[in-house]
Structure 1
């Protein structure tokens, strides 16, 4: 197969899934690891993709581009599941928890359905559906009103009015992107306003973001990196990015994605992977950072 043919196949998979892994391409294209990496280098030089640890993702789009929920749900699915498991382990029973909109927070909600005594506040239709499908008599779920965005978030004056005055123990925040200068960002101006209100209502901010969010910048900043008490990402995050994040957030938790990446051997047996923590400069909730 010619290089041009391989690269077109790589781009076709990238258009369908939003990301590609070197190991998977080696197997599907029946070529060497070095050949795949050369193809990725060539495509990156053309601006057709953005290389990340272990593979590549679609190039960053306009800062106001907001993919729909269904489109985002197929991207980095394994990474999001690993992040969601680690985030859910940070939520204590009988606490007030906020969940913002997003595919990762919807995955977190699935892991929280068995946690007793939660009071959940969300502006996400998908998150509310997860809890509705797994009812518990000891759980309360409050869904804000508002206008619906492409990511199935409820935003606007009604959402803000229902959030203001609340006091949440923990907010689990999903983000479109994160960067040293811009902080945590979103491409939707109204959604950023609602997210900022949720952040202000929370005693502890937990950000759930897979490694592809690093370096992506939406038009509006939700919060600076330093506001984050715990950032949970996956083992695809490269060492330089981990170091930059660990300097700015309270705690950096890196979830192992089972069967992938150089850190896969650190995961537990079975479907669930493990995670490792990288301390920041400040403790959170009485724990050592």
Structure 2
């Protein structure tokens, strides 16, 4: 939507600061409205008359709240009121936990009409809430199906492109997805292993490109060049240097043997974006 009249004439200022480790009332209210729109709108009044609502609330009580499912109220309105009370009292990160839960319903492992409807609602909810997070300047976005703290739109595009690479690069895509999950884990981020997964994605991309696994990155680069991949010398050197950082005796992989490797959030994020970009580069050369 366009800016409000009050903003255009300078009486109020639009939000310019990023919402990190926070969720203001406006964002919380709008996210709640999206839940109602995509999951609750036009549902029957009594749960026993609506199989979709029964499945949704069963999963919510059992998997998210860890509560007794026989305590779910009998009506949709009363059940929604219970969820709203929890939501209003929850911390900012718990609200994001609930948003992630609703998005994860896209991958519900159940074959039924109700499950299909929930998956469809979840997909639409995820797309809508992502637009909301952007418009309200949240520091968090769904990248693929993972809610992540990545605020630069170009970085999001790069990672999403890698996650959507051709099926030939399925192993590389899996490594990028795991790197993203380890980077984005709010409770226990694993930056060291995120870096490992990122560089493994590049190795897997070369394996797909070359049609065989090479013994090291230098050999993979040489094989790729023989197979038609043209790399500028500086780019080639940069890839080898990144690989060396993760593989030498003081690097990330060898640090698994013990001690602190000193890998920070910033380094993990850098590797995730760079390796995603390189997977995209290789995939663009050989579909």
Task: Give TM-score scaled by structure 1 length.
Answer: 0.24
More helix by share: 2
More strand by share: 1
Structure of larger gyration radius: 2
Task: Give TM-score scaled by structure 2 length.
Answer: 0.24
